[in-house]
Amino acid sequence: MKRIVFFLACCLPGLHTFCQQAAPVSIIPEPVQMVQNAGVFMLPSTITIEAPILPAVKPILDMLQQRLSAATGYKVLFGNEMPSAILKLSLNKTADATIGSEGYRLNVSTTNITISANQPAGLFYGVQTLMQLLPAEIESKSVVQNVKWQAPCVTITDYPKVGWRGLMFDVSRHFFTKKEVKDFIDQMSKYKYNLFHWHLTDDEGWRIEIKSYPNLTKKGAWSVAKTGYFGTFSQPLPDEPKTNGGFYTQDDIKEVIQYAKDRFINILPEVDVPGHSMAAVASYPELSCTPGADKYDVIAGESFMDWSHGAPPIALKDNTLCPANEKVYVFLDKVMTEIAGLFPFEYIHVGGDECPKNFWEQSDAIKALMQKEGLKTMEQVQSYFEKRLEKIVESKGKKFMGWDEILEGGLAPNAAVMSWRGEKGGIEAAKLKHDVVMSPTTYAYLDYMQGDEIIEPRIYATLRLKKSYEFEPLLAGVDPKYIKGGQANLWSEQLYNVRHMQYMLWPRAFAIAECVWSPKEKKDWNHFVTKVEDQFKRYDIEQVKYAPSMYDPIFTAQNTNGQLQIELTTEIEGLDIYYSFDNSFPDQYYPKYTAPLTPPKDAVMMKVITYRGYKPIGRMIAMPLAEMQKRAGLKK
């Protein structure tokens, strides 16, 4: 086999490999089998990299070349095959049954590095592991001096627990540019995610060009710009300019698909119907059941749903496509034709979640449909819609997937279910012998707050890192052949920019990555925390933002015989908590928390901070005691 060889001349000429003590290995996600051996591999003055000449391997080599040269400053030279290659990437001539299609074997000795796999994807994941074996400075986008470019000697056999390892990114509530989406894909690829779920349509924006329906992006992609707490904004005025938004052309979509493919990531497109469709209805009012839909605009973040009675909500404006309107199915047929022509992945996600039914209940067209089709409930009306949509999707050569609400009223014959409202929907679908992706809010909703709401950007629920780390997609009592895998979801109602998007993703996406890749018995919370901190060092160098919430204390307010009592705990071990009630800023010379506290009679504020040893590590948190009294159910 012909091979391509890279020569990288390092900035330390004449340096040879040698054996010395290495730091403990820190890899996310944790490999299946790993043995740390004595010694290190030191990058020599000339590094040769040998690999198969294949189109699928070339992006791996381009990435490896770029990442090594950017941080080290090494010169990259090309040459012919060399038997003395320092780094060898090879594809097995006879398949290694142990590692499957995405696994790899990695060996680092004091003299060379080898990565072998059955498929190019395995080589890619082996390279990602190798990058984490190198010093954190390898993440730098510019040359870093005075670094010992070395990797510990290890022997690793690794392969994923499940085939579907996903991250969902909502670009509808707030638009993110093509470059920002590519950066998202870059980051997820480092942790062996292989599925990018692209939430492309919703009430707040239609983000994909559909040539059959130009208004979807001419009107449906734009809204009035608002800043604050999404869902509480004032109603947009008729003359306010609609400057907020954007969309991806079909050429943009193709470019991102190829970009993801080069990183061994499939893209699942989502067109969310029949609810969550205000952008479509505002663009083409004839798709609605409701008179007056021609007055609707794309939602800018104002409240238009009443959730006081639970789900599904009561709509104040009808954001649904009309199941009784034949124009809807013509529309969906043309949309799905264009979607299927763009995206090579086998599935199209059609949403189906949180569909309000109150406008349907008032519709004469819906009542006529129910009588004609023998439908008894509004859930059956939605099921009728989903079954017709499934036939449309399948006619394009694709498979049909939706959120777990599509179970209600009767599941379409071949539908796959993405279970988000806990695990119940996934269990039910699997027992019906339908494919399932587990994505429960309990563990995997990354738009939730990561710490106390007094300091985090406020949303309606909290999900701490430790809870995310408990995620297990393969549930006891469920046939694993129906569980395709798991994923985490990042909704963007409160995401206004890339830095905050990163803050919400990391480190919880580290946790989910390990939950969907690593064997359950290899997971260890305390070890994971040390690995997260190692990744923080890398992100500091790479200038990627992350949440330090795991260092912050957890507040518990209790009513003890009519008095407020405050308990403080920490998510991770080894931290001390210092506090004050006198409005000053505590440090390690202040009282250390050791037992539940009763605040002084007239105190109004508690301030706390966590330390590791003599170094502050958590954020200074100012907690109003009125808030603690409220949580304890005490009247002031």
Could you say which of 174, 276, 349, 434 is catalytic?
276
Alpha carbon distance, N-terminus to C-terminus of the chain: 79
Which stretches of 194-237 are assigned E, i.e. beta strand? 195-199, 201-202, 205-206, 222-223
- Could you give the CA distance from residue 382 to residue 406 in angstroms, rounded to a whole number? 8
Catalytic status, residue 276: yes
Contact of 485 with 162, CB cutoff 8 Å = yes
Separation in Å, CA 335 to CA 218, 321, 343: 15, 14, 12
User: By three-state DSSP, how is residue 508 classified?
Assistant: helix
Separation in Å, CA 271 to CA 172, 177, 201, 342: 10, 18, 5, 13
**How does strand 605-612 pair with strand 621-624?**
antiparallel
Give the largest CA-CA distance in the chain. Answer: 84
> What single letter denotes the amino acid at residue 45?
S
Could you say which of 30, 202, 318, 534 is catalytic?
202
Contact of 498 with 181, CB cutoff 8 Å = no
Could you say which of 30, 139, 170, 354 is catalytic?
354
Q: Which of 321, 400, 327, 403 is nearest to 356 (CA)?
A: 321
Q: Which of 8, 6, 29, 23 is nearest to 519 (CA)?
A: 29
Catalytic status, residue 186: no
Q: Which residue has the tokens 């993801």?
A: 260
Contact of 73 with 65, CB cutoff 8 Å = no
> What single letter denotes the amino acid at residue 525?
W
Q: Residue 150 burial (CB < 10 Å; 0-12/13-18/19+)?
A: buried
* Pair of tokens at residue 569: 């705990």
> In terms of residues, how long is the chain?
636
- Could you give the CA distance from residue 60 to residue 11 in angstroms, rounded to a whole number? 23
Contact of 335 with 393, CB cutoff 8 Å = no
| Residues identified as active-site | 202, 276, 354
